[in-house]
Structure 1
Amino acid sequence: MRDDLQGLEISQKELQKLTNLPVNDKLVIIINPLKKLGVNFLKKIKGSEGATVVFIGFSIIVFGYLLFDVIIKLFATWITIPSWILLIISGFWIGGVIQTILYLIWKKNSKFVKLNMTNSLLVLLNDVNRYNDVIKAIDINDQIEEAGNPEVSIKEREKVIEALKLTRTDLIRALKTEKILRENKNFILSNTELFINNLATLTAMQVTEQATEHGRLLNEALQIALDVQHEMRRLQSQR
C-alpha cells in the first residue's frame, strides 16, 4: 500500500473504540491460525535459513512431548495408554474447549451489538464498509499500475486522497456523535429542552454545508440527532 493510503482505512479495532461496541466481530476458528502458522513455517523452510527453522521446530516438538511425558509419569501413573496417543487426544480436547469458549464469547458479543444497534449506526457502519472498499480498490489499482500498466493511473490522485481524508474525518465525527446520543439516550429523553439549541445549531451547520460532499456525513450526524429527537417524542407520546 502506498504511503498516501497508509492510515486512511478505519480498522475494526478503531471502529470498535469509536462505537464502544464489538461491531464486525468475527468468530475465530482456531484451525485458521494454525494453518497460517503452518504456511509461514513452510515458507521459512524454503528460505535460506530452512535448516535452522527445521531444527528449532523439531526441537520444540520433541521438548514439548518429553515434558508432557514426564508430567504424565509423575502425576498420572494410572494412565496406561502411550503418552503420544494421550497427547493427541488432549490436543483435540483442549482445542475443542478453546473453540467452544471462543464461540460463546462471539455469541455474547453479537447479542450485545444487536441489542444496542440503531438504524443510524447501521447506516454509518455501511458507510464505513463502503469507504474502506474504496481504499482497497485504489490499493489494487496501484498494484496493477506498478505491475506495468501505467494507463490505469488515477488522475488527480492528490484530490482523491484529500477527499478520502475529509470523508474519514466526517465518518469519525458521525460515529462519535451517534455513540454519545446512544449512550445518553435516557438522559436526553428526560431533558429534551436542554438539547433544543444544540439541534438548532446542527441544523444551521447543515444549511451551510449541505451542498458540499464534505458536509454529507456531517448531515448524517445531524440525522442521528433528529432521529433521536423523533424517538424521544414517540416515547413521550406513549406515556
Structure 2
Amino acid sequence: MGKAVRNDLHGLEISHKELQTLTNLPVKDELIIIINPFKKIVKDILEKIKGSEGATVVFLSFSTVVFGYVLFDIFIKIFATWITIPSWLLLIFLLIWGGSFTQIFLYYWWKKRLKTLKSHMTHSLQILLQDVDRYNAVIKAIDINDQIEEAGNPEVRIQKREKVIEALQLTRSDLVRALKTERILRENKSFILRNTELFVNNLATLTAMQVTEQATEHGRLLNEAFQIALDVQSEMKKLQSQEGVEGIGG
C-alpha cells in the first residue's frame, strides 16, 4: 500500500506472513532471488548520491568495498599462501560460485514448499485464498483512491467511509475465522472421519437451538453456526466417500 496510508486502513490487509500462520502452509510463497537485495542497495545508493549528501555516500560506499577487499586479501595471504591467482580474481570467483550455489539451494527449497502446499491444498482453502486476494484488492483500491484524493481531487472522497471500514473489519474477521476452521478440519481429517457421529450429534443440537432462537441476535449467530455445520457435514460425507473408494481400490 501507499507510504502515507491512512490510519483506519492499518492492520486491515491480510499479509502473506499472517496467511501462512493461519493456514500453517507456505501459501503465497515466492522464490527468493538473491540478486534483488543487492539491486535495491545499489538503487538506494544512487538515489542518495543525487541528494545533498552525495559525496559522503560515494566515499562511504567506496571505503566499504575497499576495506572488505583488503580484509579478504590479508586473510588469503596469511591462511592460504598456496593460492597463486590474484586475490581480486579469487574474490570474484567465490562470489559467483557462492551466489550460484545459494540460488540453486533456494530454488529447490522453494519447489519443495510448493509441493507441500499442493499436497495439502483443499477446495475450501483454494476458495478462501481467492477471497483473501479480492479482500486485499479492495483495501489496495481504497488506498489508491485516498492518494488520488490527497493529490487534490476531493470529488473522489469515499462516502460513509466509517461504514466501509467497519464492513472491511467484519469481513477480515470472517476470513480469519474461516481460515482457522479450514485448518482445524484439514489437520484433523482422519479423526473426524473416525468420529462422524460426534459431528452429527452437534448438528442436531444446533438445529434444535436454531428453531427456538431464530428471531434473536443470538439466533442469527446460531444460524450462521448451523450453516457452517451443514457445510461441514457435507464435506465429511464427501471425504467418507473418497475414503471408501480408496479402500476399495486398495
Q: Same fold (TM over 0.5)?
A: yes
The partner residue of 2:34 within 6, 30, 35 is 30
**Bigger Rg, which one:** 2
Superposed CA deviations along residues 6-55 of structure 1, whole A, max 9, x for unmatched, are 10000000000000001010001112111111111122222333333222
The equivalent of 1:179 in structure 2 is 183
Identity, % of aligned pairs?
Answer: 62
Q: How does 1:85-234 map to 2 (within 5 A)?
A: 85-200=89-204, 225-234=232-241
**How far, CA to CA, are the matches of 2:53 and 2:229 in structure 1?**
58
Give structure 1 stretches of 5+ with no counterpart.
Answer: none
The equivalent of 1:64 in structure 2 is 68
Q: Does 48-57 or 120-129 show the bigger shift?
A: 48-57
Partner amino acid, structure 2, of 1:132: N
**How far, CA to CA, are the matches of 1:97 and 1:71 in structure 2?**
23
Give, in angstroms, the shift of residue 149 of structure 1. 1.0
Change (3 A) 1:28 1:196: same
Mapped contact 1:181–1:228 kept (Cα < 8 A) = no
**How far, CA to CA, are the matches of 1:202 and 1:229 in structure 2?**
17
TM-score (norm 1): 0.88
Give structure 2 stretches of 5+ with no counterpart.
Answer: 216-220
Give, in angstroms, the shift of residue 80 of structure 1. 1.9
**How far, CA to CA, are the matches of 2:155 and 2:65 in structure 1?**
52
Mapped contact 1:177–1:221 kept (Cα < 8 A) = no
Q: Does 132-141 or 146-155 show the bigger shift?
A: 146-155
**How far, CA to CA, are the matches of 1:220 and 1:77 in structure 2?**
75
The equivalent of 1:48 in structure 2 is 52
Give, in angstroms, the shift of residue 226 of structure 1. 3.6
**How far, CA to CA, are the matches of 1:95 and 1:49 in structure 2?**
32
Mapped contact 1:27–1:102 kept (Cα < 8 A) = yes
**How far, CA to CA, are the matches of 1:158 and 1:141 in structure 2?**
15
Change (3 A) 1:64 1:208: farther
**How far, CA to CA, are the matches of 2:238 and 2:149 in structure 1?**
50
**How far, CA to CA, are the matches of 1:178 and 1:128 in structure 2?**
14
**How far, CA to CA, are the matches of 2:23 and 2:115 in structure 1?**
15
